[in-house]
Structure 1
Amino acid sequence: MFTGIVQGVATIARISDRPGLRSFRLQFPDGFAHELAIGASVACDGVCLTVTELHGANEADFDVMQQSLSLTTLGHFREGDTLNVERAAKDGAEIGGHPLSGHVDVTAEVESIRQPENNHVIRIRVPGGWMRYIFAKGYIAINGASLTVAEVNKAENWFEVWLIPETLRMTTFGDKAAGAPLNIEIERATQVFVDTVRDALEERLGPLLPALEKLLASQGQTLDTLASPVPLPKG
């Protein structure tokens, strides 16, 4: 498990390919790899990877299978690129973000960036089917970072997050431009809640469900509005 609090930025020192498998050698910031062992888990831009070999005090190798390369942004990386990293949480660790599995649900894309004073706002476009799990003031993991959703437009399939200077300092988000791909992990409790409500509505309403959806659409809403969870405070 991970907490979504990025602990540093790693650099891809080497990439090597074998049939169906790609290996990354990552160079970590000083101190990040202290007591890191073969078999340990590290979230790399939100993807849970396993250490396969250690090189000195600050480098380690990770193998990524073809499916993970195709379902995440890892297939886009080149040597010299950087990514967010976090060590697996230990028992009793403070959950400063929200619990993450390191299993990416979908890739999204930076639609635009704007920079109000002392802030950095990223608008992110997501495939439509996943927007049902994204709500204003809810949690979401982007490239392994636990963030709070600021605004949502389900009709246009985008949401926004606001980043403070400290978040930009500790992550790679400051380097992202429009069109950049991102790994998204949906907050699991929200997904379970939404799917449970939708299943219950479909089971109870049956053939009446299309009529309800049509009525909601006439009011500028969707079935997901009924499944919207009430955000709980962090902490």
Structure 2
Amino acid sequence: MFTGIVEELGEITAVENLPDASRFRLRGPVVTEGVGHGDSIAVNGVCLTVVEHEGDEFTADVMAETLNRSSLGALTVGSRVNLERPTSVGARLGGHIVQGHVDAVGTVVAREPSENWEIVKVSLPAGLSRYVVEKGSITVDGVSLTVVDAGPDYFTISLIPTTLALTTLGIKQPGDPVNLEVDIIAKYVERLLGGRATGSVQAQEATQ
């Protein structure tokens, strides 16, 4: 479990393409401190498992499902990535509850710079708009952000200088893909309300 507070900008140092997967080697001095085999690290919002680690680098296997459902397949040697270690029980929840399970890939549509922040518009794939609300939370490339405006097929976010400087969102340009994870609470609420409605209908039918 993560919170969407990126700890550092890492770098892809090697990519090994396998028949149905890829193996990445990544550099991240902060997230590799005390890391062990089997630990989890979020890479651009995707929860990956550490296979090997040496010094300030670690390797992780990315299966075909993850490559197809995220933007990780577009990464090459030299690509910068957002890295975050899992949160611990009792730690501050700086962002929001992030699973590291990407729902879809969006695209940066436009950037509107200003003196102290920048508004970024991101496309929203069909089926996800119902989970995105104004002033709600969304994860973009592993960064916990607040939705400014929620449209039928897009949303906007406001990026402060710290986010622009310390995450990949500072260098993403229109046309670039970004990993999206909607608020898991919204999906659970939808599921529960759907089940309640179904149960209510069944109860009424049973009394007729």
Structure 1 counterpart of 2:154, one-letter code: W
Cα distance, 1:195 vs structure 2: 4.2
- The normalised TM-score by structure 1 is 0.81
Aligned length: 202
Kept in 2, the 8 Å contact 1:132–1:194? The answer is no
Kept in 2, the 8 Å contact 1:39–1:52? The answer is yes
The residue that corresponds to 1:210 in the other structure is none
**Deviation digits for residues 160-189 of structure 1, max 9, x if unmatched?**
000100111220101101111111111011
Cα distance, 1:19 vs structure 2: 1.3
The residue that corresponds to 1:216 in the other structure is none
Cα distance, 1:66 vs structure 2: 0.9
Q: 2:162 aligns with which of 166, 169, 174?
A: 166
Cα distance, 1:194 vs structure 2: 3.3
Cα distance, 1:77 vs structure 2: 0.7
Kept in 1, the 8 Å contact 2:13–2:25? The answer is yes
Query: Distance between the aligned counterparts of 2:109 and 2:33, measured in 1?
Result: 37
1:152-231 residue pairs with structure 2 within 5 A? 152-154=150-152, 157-197=153-193
Identity of aligned residues (%): 35
Kept in 2, the 8 Å contact 1:5–1:96? The answer is yes
Cα distance, 1:204 vs structure 2: 6.8
1:1-235 residue pairs with structure 2 within 5 A? 1-28=1-28, 30-56=29-55, 58-154=56-152, 157-197=153-193
**Deviation digits for residues 4-31 of structure 1, max 9, x if unmatched?**
1110111000001121120000011x33
Q: 1:110 to 1:201 in 2, by over 3 A?
A: farther
Cα distance, 1:83 vs structure 2: 0.8
- The normalised TM-score by structure 2 is 0.91
Cα distance, 1:116 vs structure 2: 1.7
The residue that corresponds to 2:205 in the other structure is none
RMSD: 1.7
Structure 2 counterpart of 1:11, one-letter code: E
Query: Distance between the aligned counterparts of 1:23 and 1:97, measured in 2?
Result: 29
Q: 1:128 to 1:200 in 2, by over 3 A?
A: farther
What SS does structure 2 have at the residue aligned with 1:190?
A: helix
What SS does structure 1 have at the residue aligned with 2:17?
A: strand
